[in-house]
């Protein structure tokens, strides 16, 4: 029994199919036949499109600020870990020398 190889579709293709599904001009069955993709796959791509569209209109300044805060926290943690490492190296050096 030979298994069918899974198709790998580009992002552009998925977007095209999902937009066609959102438009609603054709049924899922018609779209499936037109694009040679299973109707369930079209529904999945359509749902993903509808869930991610709000991100396109999100306030980029807010996202940038959140990213900066996250970066600041990471730098703070790096600093703290560097200090702890330095302290541990000094402590272990005193055991090795003594």
The token duo for 90 is 């000094």
CA 37 to chain centroid, in Å, comes to: 24
Domain residues for 30? 10-57
Give start and end residues of each alpha helix (H) in the chain: 11-23, 28-35, 39-56, 60-97
- The pTM of the full predicted model, rounded to 2 decimals, is 0.56
Q: Cα separation of 30 and 72, whole Å?
A: 51
Domain end position, chosen among 42, 57, 72: 57
> What residues in the chain have per-residue pLDDT under 50?
none
pLDDT digits (tens, 9 = 90+) for 52-77: 998 888 777 777 777 777 888 889 99
Mean pLDDT score across all residues of the chain: 88
- Give the contacts of 22 (CB within 8 A, at least 6 positions apart): 46, 49, 50
43 and 69 within one domain:
no
40 and 18 within one domain:
yes
Q: Cα separation of 15 and 25, whole Å?
A: 16
What does the pLDDT read at residue 20?
A: 96
What does the pLDDT read at residue 58?
A: 78
């Amino acid at each position: 029994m030979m298994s069918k190889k899974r198709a790998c579709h580009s992002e552009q293709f998925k977007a095209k199919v999902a937009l066609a599904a959102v438009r609603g001009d054709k049924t899922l069955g018609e779209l499936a036949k037109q694009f040679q993709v299973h109707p369930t796959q079209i529904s999945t791509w359509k749902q993903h499109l509808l869930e991610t569209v709000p991100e396109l209109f999100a306030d980029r300044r807010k996202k940038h600020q959140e990213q900066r805060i996250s970066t600041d926290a990471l730098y703070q943690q790096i600093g703290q870990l560097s200090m702890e490492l330095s302290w541990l190296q000094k402590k272990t050096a005193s055991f090795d020398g003594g």
